[in-house]
Amino acid sequence: MRPRSLIGRDQLLWRVRRQHVADILHDHAALLRLRSCPCRDRRSTHHRVRGVNRLGARYRCPVELAVDLVGGKWKTVLLARLKERPHRYGELRKLAPGLSDKMLTSRLAELQELGFVARVPATEPGRDAYALTKAGERLRPVLDALYRYGLEAAADRAVVIEEAGSPLTR
């Protein structure tokens, strides 16, 4: 909307500026649709919001970084299951029945990206498994401590833990 006080030459300049801005926005929107704009962040919204792959991010406490890396309900559950032994995708899906396929795929991809989990190719097609990497193995004491704490908290609060599939081992 243009100001009413503009007349003549000023009115024309206002229209030119407005059209120029519209052209710039239109061109930028087209570039974004083509995914060729240099300002386009190629990560998913989840990655931008959650901060996955924030290189050079600053933390005020090491615990904050650790929670950012392995925090969340499903990442730790998947890591705890993979601590037992390598599992195939279908096995992991059965071991975490409350986890949707989309979320399982997403969390496994994040754990791979973070370097905690690797996809191990099998001799037969379609039999690939997921296993902990060296970085993932370094989480074993943390996962053991969480397991023990969960058992103690369940006993203190009279909570029944129904483990799907095989029981978690220490």
Q: Could you report the per-residue pLDDT of 83-140, keeping only the tens digit for each?
A: 999 999 999 999 998 899 999 999 999 999 999 999 998 878 778 899 999 999 999 9
Q: Residue 71's domain spans which residues?
A: 52-157
Do 108 and 135 lie in a common domain?
Answer: yes
Contact assessment for residue 129 and residue 95, using Cβ atoms and an 8 Å cutoff: no
Helices 140-157, 73-84: crossing angle, 10 deg rounding? 110
Q: Report yes or no on 168 lying in a domain.
A: no
Total domains, the chain? 2
Q: CA 157 to CA 123: how far, in whole Å?
A: 46
Q: What is the pLDDT of residue 68?
A: 83
Question: 38: buried, middle or exposed (CB in 10 Å: 19+, 13-18, 0-12)?
Answer: exposed
Could you report the per-residue pLDDT of 14-24, keeping only the tens digit for each?
Answer: 565 565 555 55
Do 74 and 125 lie in a common domain?
Answer: yes
In the chain, pLDDT over 90 holds for what percent of residues? 45
Do 111 and 76 lie in a common domain?
Answer: yes
Do 98 and 24 lie in a common domain?
Answer: no
Name the pLDDT band for 8 (thresholds 50, 70, 90).
Answer: low
Q: CA 119 to CA 133: how far, in whole Å?
A: 9
Give the mean model confidence (pLDDT) for residues 21-30. 54
Do 36 and 120 lie in a common domain?
Answer: no
Q: Report yes or no on 17 lying in a domain.
A: yes
Q: CA 144 to CA 139: how far, in whole Å?
A: 9
Q: Report yes or no on 89 lying in a domain.
A: yes
Q: Is the pTM of the predicted complex or chain greater than 0.85?
A: no
